[in-house]
Amino acid sequence: MKVRAAVLRTMGAPKPYAKSRPVSIETVELDPPGPGEVLVAIKAAGICHSDLSMASGVRPRPLPMVMGHEAAGQVEAVGPGVTDLVPGDHVALVFVPSCGHCVPCASGRPALCEPGATANAGGTLLGGHRRLRDGGGQPVNHQVGVSCYAEKAVLNRRSLVKIAKDVPFDIAALFGCAVITGVGAVVNTAKMRPGASAAVVGLGGVGLCAMLGAMAAGARSVIGVDINPAKLQLAKQLGASAVFDAREPDVVDKIRAASGGGVEYAFEMAGEAEAHELAWKIARRGGETVTAGLQHPDKRLPVPSVQLVAEERTLKGSYLGSCVPARDIPAFIDLYRSGRLPVDRLLSERIGLDEVNLAFDRLAEGTTVRQILVFP
């Protein structure tokens, strides 16, 4: 079948992307689902910094590639062997498929699935297949097994989580990345205890989800840190105890003073080396710094080893929020429905497929939180 899709053919194009147009809107051929696969009509997809990092070349992937990794949609057809989904089901798309039998999966850590990581790096679905071709019949790669900047997508069943039908698709899309990455970093990676103090450095979609997750988990105070005044204001409106501009020369001292010597949990969500270093510096003795920001592979973090030991400090990475998606996405959706996780307030703009390059410009400029690509 033929579908319209956003295809990345050039990495590292100059800004503004609306002019250089690294993403082209093309009609591609989508094969029907094979064994263990599902055809999904995409209804809404989030424009995430991880997508921008692939377009900019910070996170290289094989090209050409249909973009997108955060979405929700409706099942249209299932391939042989899929018995637990039927046409009409609503699903959230997950950017790490889990095989269920490798060492990380068997240990309860599906975010680190080894076959899933291999497939994502190679631009294929979990089974090693490509179901996309361009107008000339040449194979097109899948972005992390999802490729949701398209009218329809074929995914491995293990890249999907069934969700309730009463959640609007534009809200449900957030749970495939922003929510599970941000909230998961708090409750799964850090296992933050109720009554603790926390700070979030980087208040994009993932960072604000981490802030909301910390409040839902019972933090006594949550400090928001960013360089964008509008994001700092939004964080304050959402309930941040205090907010600070990361560009202030004495921001570390101010945050440590406001938190009584540093926070117990510091979360870095900006994907920048400076933000990572700041998150380390504002954690107190015995504190924990968790990072979910994906930086360029060449970036390094200077951490004094004596401080790591003498202060019993902890530094952790968090991927996919250390989530078990089939368990956590429905649970986080229930928190949203109860009003304890108001992620609907993070939506900035609803856009069409032809606006993807412009959306990347907005994201690069830091003038938006979460833009949602919607399909009729």
Q: What is the pLDDT of residue 232?
A: 98
Residue 236 pLDDT greater than 90, yes or no: yes
Task: Say what the pLDDT of residue 302 is.
Answer: 83
Instruction: Identify whether 16 is preceded by a cis peptide bond (ω within 30 of 0).
Output: yes
Q: Which two tokens stand for residue 332?
A: 């986080």
**DSSP per residue over 104-132, as a string?**
HHHTT-GGG-HHHHHHHHHT--TTS---E
Calculate mean pLDDT across residues 258-275: 96
Total domains in the fold of the chain: 2
188 or 297, which is more confident: 188
What is the span of the domain harbouring residue 242?
Answer: 182-318
The pLDDT of 194-206, averaged and rounded, is: 97
Place of tokens 């979990």: 126
In this structure, the answer to whether residues 77 and 7 fall within a common structural domain is yes
Q: Are residues 18 and 87 in the same domain?
A: yes
Give ∠ CA 172-215-345 in degrees, rounded to 5. Answer: 40
Query: Three-class SS of residue 318?
Result: coil
Rounded Cα–Cα distance for residues 168 and 153 (Å): 19
pLDDT of residue 132: 98
Instruction: Give the pLDDT mean for 161-184.
Output: 98
What is the average pLDDT across 17-37? 97
Per-residue pLDDT, 185: 98
Beta bridge partners of 27: 4
Domain contains 333: no
At residue 297, the pLDDT reads 81
Q: Which residues pair with 370 in a beta bridge?
A: 347
Q: CATH code at 150?
A: 3.90.180.10
Quote the tokens at residue 141: 């790669």
What value does the mean pLDDT take over residues 236-241?
98
**Helix or strand run (H / E) with residue 133:** strand 132-133
Q: What is the predicted pLDDT for the residue at 57?
A: 86
Of 71-85, 121-135, 287-301, the range with the lowest mean pLDDT is 287-301
Query: What pLDDT is recorded for position 48?
Result: 94
**Torsion angle of alpha carbons 93, 179, 121, 25, nearest 10°?**
60
Mean pLDDT of 341-354: 97
Backbone dihedral angles phi then psi of residue 5, each to the nearest 5 degrees:
-150, 155
pLDDT of residue 268: 97
| Residue appearing with tokens 């009554």 | 195
Is residue 134 assigned to a domain?
A: yes
Q: Check if the beta carbon of residue 290 is closer than 8 Å to that of residue 278.
A: no
Neighbouring residues of 91: CB distance < 8 A, sequence distance ≥ 6: 38, 40, 72, 73, 74, 75, 85, 160, 161, 162, 163
Same domain? For 161 and 12 the reply is: yes
Q: Is the pLDDT of residue 18 over 90?
A: yes
Query: Is 301 a residue whose pLDDT tops 90?
Result: no
Residue at 205 is within a domain? yes
Sign of CA dihedral 15, 58, 49, 202: negative
